[in-house]
Structure 1
Amino acid sequence: MTRSPGFDETDLRRLAGARSFERGRGYLSAVTRLDIGAESITATVDGSDTYEVELTEDGDGGLSAWCDCPYGQEGNFCKHCVAVGLTVLAQAGAVPRQRSAAASRTRALDTWLDSRTREELLALVREQLAEDRGLRRRLELRAAAAGEDADVVRERILSLFDTRPFARYGYVERADARAYRRQAAEAVAALRALTAGGRSADAVRVAREALTELGRSYGEIDDSDGLIGDVATELAATHLEACRTARPDPAETAEWLVHHLLDDVHHATDIDLSDYQDVLGEPGLARARDIAVAAWRADPKGWAKKHLVERFLRADGGDVDALVAVHAADLAPNGRTHLVIAKELGAAGRAAEALEWAERGLREAVPGGGPDDELVAFVCERYARAGRLADVVTVRRDLLRARPSLATYQHVRTAATAAGTWEGAERADALKTLKAAAHPCEGRWCGGSALVDALLDDGDLDAAWQAAADGYGDQRQWLALADAVRDQRPADALTVYLRGIEPLRSRTGDGAYARMAELLLGVRACHRALGTEAEFATYLAALRADQKRKRKLMAVLDQHGL
């Protein structure tokens, strides 16, 4: 029995969200080529480009959709899907008849095809091949894979990974990635056909070249939707399947795998050598390990080589001293590698050595930037655990001098408070460090500094105000100060608020309007504290008269009672 649409406007709004639903209403006239089939509904929608849409209802009344617009390709129920759904609902009464007609056409086509002779079907296929180049290419590839000519198969498979037909500007854009994905997927299917047809050795050889070719091309493709990454994963799986069937020479396979993993092109396919254990066996794994170690020794700073050797060591049981040696061969200037070594030693129960390496990282960190924050935290946590609170303060103080900021100041304050040394010389020294790092300038609207932020964070408002007045405060800090002191110093805060409003008079946009309303509320609070509310009313009336053409601003002010 044919059926009406199993969805309504409520379903469309729920799936799309209110914004996309309302935008979809504006595309009703753009829906063309609507085809209501027995199982699915397809249509074309003209937007900034022409998009293909498909709606599918499952047996339980659920609705799913696909659209090839960028938003739809991310899995969203987009405005184009809404437009098609609303178009279907507008003719809901005719849907059962249209579905019945579609089912009848399908049955008629099946009956007609069943009644054709072999010669007639071949003639029909050849007719389609003459008109559809994509279909012709796919069938030619399948024919070659079933035949004997390995070179022809290789050439045609590798041609499918060529990005040039899709790179209009030397780069495969996101909109063209889907078409390239379909072509590359054909190549993967052909490789699998080779393996299934008893030609797995050929599949191994061609898959290796394809992996390299795709890896080289991947950086020239906008794969925001992950489509090409999925094909790359399938290609790697196809290579592994072929290897498991063909059982190529373990040593030679190991050499290829290691060289591929050490090549920059391997990132696209993300091959995992551990998946090949059954293909390589112990001799192949030993050969792979030897090649990786030799490559690392020749270039200890090479990240890929270091990473591969580290994986072998962990697979062999994780010799801690060997891992330390690998990391120690290339120490990062900020102590980050020292931290990695410290964590390895700590996990092995060698706490004293772990702390020694971490302390060494602090000492050897390049002056200027200072050590890695996580390394500092690692050392301070262990010092605190051992009751060495004064040492924690020293480490935090050194980091403040290397990287003066509100965060490093707060860490010194926390450490010194725990040690009972914050009030007095320690705080004064920390503020002196922040002031030395700041650059005051003339005027109050530039030169924002960590010094003012630190004084605000301490709640020392008088000192913060003075620092800002001395040129160490920017607009953000002045407004924060005004908010903090307006109950005690409303006249001073009022001056800041009024100064903040002036540049907003010439601006438009929701952000500027919201900010002006916020500042005006501060101005009103100051006038109330000063007992000069009539003066505020005069100022507000003049401002509204000056800004009256900005209707949205007037609405925002009304919403805030201004």
Structure 2
Amino acid sequence: MDGLTEAKLRALAGARSFDRGLGYLDAVTGVEVGDAWVTATVHGTQRYKVELALDEPGGLVSECDCPYGLEGNFCKHLVALGLTLLARRESLPRQRRAAQNRAQDLDAWLSGLSGEELLALVRDQVAEDRQLRRRLELRAASARGDLAGVRARVRELLDIGPFAQYGYVEYADARAYSDQAGQAVSAITALTASGRADDAIALAREAMQLLAEAVESIDDSDGGLGQAGAALADAHHEACRAARPDPEELARWLVGHVLGDADDLTDIDPLDYEDVLGDRGMTVLRELAVGAWRRNRTGWAEKYLMERLAKAGGAVDTLVAVHAADLAPDGRTHLVIARELDLAGRPGQALEWAERGIRDARDLAAVDIALVDHLSDRYTRVGRLPDAVALRRHHFGARRTLLTYRQLRAAALAADCWQDERERALALLRADAEQRQEGWGSGPVLIDALLDEKDVDAAWRAATETGADEQQWLTLADQARGHRPADALGIYLRLAEPLTRQTGNTAYEQLVSLLLSIRDCHRRRGTLDEFTTYITALRTAQRRKRNLMRLMDQHGL
């Protein structure tokens, strides 16, 4: 309990979740204190179960079954429980000692019961608790070697029927179904532990198919079914390591599984089975994967399997062939190939593939920007600076943006040819600005480029001739007010005027920022009396906006 502090809760949750947790203090009910844990229910969008384990060696351990908590986050519901415990700090040690005494008393009582009395107690609990009954039925069937009984119970647990209305399991019932699926996985794991790994393999595969069919009819927003699928994959892998099935049969099943629909839920990686498959099984696995890929070279699952096998075996040429069979028109696949060849120590071929990606692109404006960056970087590394400039020039010609202008400038400066490139680039941007239609949302890129270079006078002329958007005018005024305060003042006054008709803190903050700039312009011009007259009139007209008045007061306006 010493590690539980308000500062610790804030650090674990983050400021946003912590602040939200403050609003849930009245929603915490059913607080139960154990020796080393505390549980409760927090009423939010639904009722969520929360638990804090205290005094753990690794720090505060927590669980909440809300969607955010299931992802491993310290959510607002846990914050609410933690703050509730802090409010009860004085009574908590006493409650924990009482819980420990109760646990010891219960253990002593159970230890003193006879076998018949314990059996009667268990039978009473089984009659009252359906979940306990199912778990014990599974254990009993497994213990007596009744595979048919275990299979029947597993199929019953994975049946969506009891949870589904009109054939679909809604979000409110999905967690209960996922819990049942977890029980089925536990039963399969128990088969392996009892020396029946062969049966566990068969049952795990059957359960995977059942889960794959069920997931289509379940709202698994919380990901509970995905967790059950991952646990089922682990159970299958564990059973295979124990039973050592026929390598060729296992290879065939693995390929069929990863290329089928069930793998979306279990996400099995065949390479995890390499120690079970051995050389013979891996050979069959590769042959089957190659055959499947050749039949469907553009299939995502087939490509991914081939890619995994090729990378694991260091087969770069195979990896290149897999990607080359389905090249994207924007060049991103060429980039993948180039990077793989670079990693393999084959820079010449890597460069050829990157260049081919640019050549093959039907539209340079749509080419993957990462490919352009990659090729430009490679040209620069090997001293081919003119080629880097030409690439950036062509890309800028196809995509005339501030980013591509900056990239062209960087390449040309490195090649000591920026002056000529700049004139050509600005000519293109000037032509775009002259053709720009009134009412477009963003201003000319020409203005952005000139402002980026701090060429204020040229930017001012261009804005006057071709127009600019409000953000560009504001930036222009900010850059110009040092030597053109009168011009900047006109812009600030024009931008401030519509804000005086708006309400809300965002508008007020923008207006005050402009007022500070207006005052600075008057100061530079030596006309602060004019500013005093302006601000007095403004305060009179805006006096009902209390938040604006408060903000102006804070800034001395």
TM value normalised by structure 2: 0.87
1:335 lines up with 2:331 in the alignment: yes
Alpha-carbon shift at residue 397 of structure 1 (Å): 0.8
Match for residue 491 of structure 2? 496
8 Å contact from structure 1 (residues 338, 358) kept in 2: yes
8 Å contact from structure 1 (residues 207, 238) kept in 2: yes
Q: Name which of structure 1's ranges 62-71 and 122-131 shifts more when overlaid on structure 2.
A: 62-71
Distance 1:54 1:81 in 2: 8
Deviation sequence 1:430-456 (CA, Å, 0-9, x none):
12333455562336x844232221121
Q: How many percent of aligned residue pairs carry the same amino acid?
A: 56
Q: Name which of structure 1's ranges 413-422 and 428-437 shifts more when overlaid on structure 2.
A: 428-437
Report matched runs for 1:455-494 at 5 Å: 455-494=450-489
Match for residue 198 of structure 1? 195
1:277 lines up with 2:239 in the alignment: no
Give 2:516's aligned amino acid. L
Distance 1:559 1:166 in 2: 60
Secondary structure (helix, strand or coil) at the match of 1:52 reads strand
8 Å contact from structure 2 (residues 364, 395) kept in 1: no
**Among candidates 362, 369, 385, match of residue 366 of structure 1:** 362
Deviation sequence 1:220-260 (CA, Å, 0-9, x none):
76767665444333211110111222333322221111122
Give 2:255's aligned amino acid. V
Cα distance, 1:390–1:497 mapped onto 2, change above 3 Å: same
8 Å contact from structure 2 (residues 174, 220) kept in 1: yes
8 Å contact from structure 1 (residues 497, 522) kept in 2: yes
Report matched runs for 1:384-423 at 5 Å: 384-423=380-419
**Among candidates 304, 307, 314, match of residue 307 of structure 1:** 304
**Among candidates 238, 246, 263, match of residue 249 of structure 1:** 246
1:316 lines up with 2:348 in the alignment: no
Deviation sequence 1:336-366 (CA, Å, 0-9, x none):
2223333344444443333222222211112
Distance 1:172 1:509 in 2: 41
**Among candidates 111, 121, 132, match of residue 129 of structure 2:** 132
Equivalenced residue count is 555
Distance 1:555 1:177 in 2: 51
Cα distance, 1:536–1:280 mapped onto 2, change above 3 Å: same
Alpha-carbon shift at residue 406 of structure 1 (Å): 1.0
Distance 1:96 1:350 in 2: 66
Distance 2:266 2:349 in 1: 39
Secondary structure (helix, strand or coil) at the match of 1:473 reads coil
1:240 lines up with 2:246 in the alignment: no
Deviation sequence 1:125-164 (CA, Å, 0-9, x none):
2322232222222222223333444344334324434567
Match for residue 38 of structure 2? 41
Structure 1, gaps ≥5 residues long: none
8 Å contact from structure 1 (residues 405, 434) kept in 2: no
Give 1:539's aligned amino acid. Y
Distance 1:305 1:395 in 2: 35
Distance 1:179 1:358 in 2: 52
Q: Name which of structure 1's ranges 287-296 and 92-101 shifts more when overlaid on structure 2.
A: 92-101
Structure 2, gaps ≥5 residues long: none
Distance 1:375 1:6 in 2: 50
Q: Name which of structure 1's ranges 518-527 and 338-347 shifts more when overlaid on structure 2.
A: 338-347
Match for residue 289 of structure 1? 286
Q: Name which of structure 1's ranges 406-415 and 215-224 shifts more when overlaid on structure 2.
A: 215-224
Deviation sequence 1:77-122 (CA, Å, 0-9, x none):
5554455455555555544544443333323322332333333333
Deviation sequence 1:262-297 (CA, Å, 0-9, x none):
235424322121121232222222222111111111
Give 1:332's aligned amino acid. A
Alpha-carbon shift at residue 371 of structure 1 (Å): 3.1
**Among candidates 518, 534, 539, match of residue 544 of structure 1:** 539
1:517 lines up with 2:477 in the alignment: no
8 Å contact from structure 1 (residues 212, 266) kept in 2: no
Q: Name which of structure 1's ranges 72-81 and 178-187 shifts more when overlaid on structure 2.
A: 72-81
Distance 1:263 1:376 in 2: 36
Match for residue 138 of structure 2? 141
Cα distance, 1:408–1:215 mapped onto 2, change above 3 Å: farther
8 Å contact from structure 1 (residues 7, 61) kept in 2: no
Give 2:111's aligned amino acid. D
8 Å contact from structure 1 (residues 5, 95) kept in 2: no
Distance 1:35 1:316 in 2: 55
8 Å contact from structure 2 (residues 67, 221) kept in 1: no
Secondary structure (helix, strand or coil) at the match of 2:228 reads helix
**Among candidates 382, 407, 425, match of residue 378 of structure 2:** 382
Match for residue 107 of structure 2? 110
Alpha-carbon shift at residue 15 of structure 1 (Å): 5.6
Q: CA RMSD in A?
A: 3.4
Alpha-carbon shift at residue 331 of structure 1 (Å): 1.6
1:157 lines up with 2:154 in the alignment: yes
Match for residue 428 of structure 2? 433
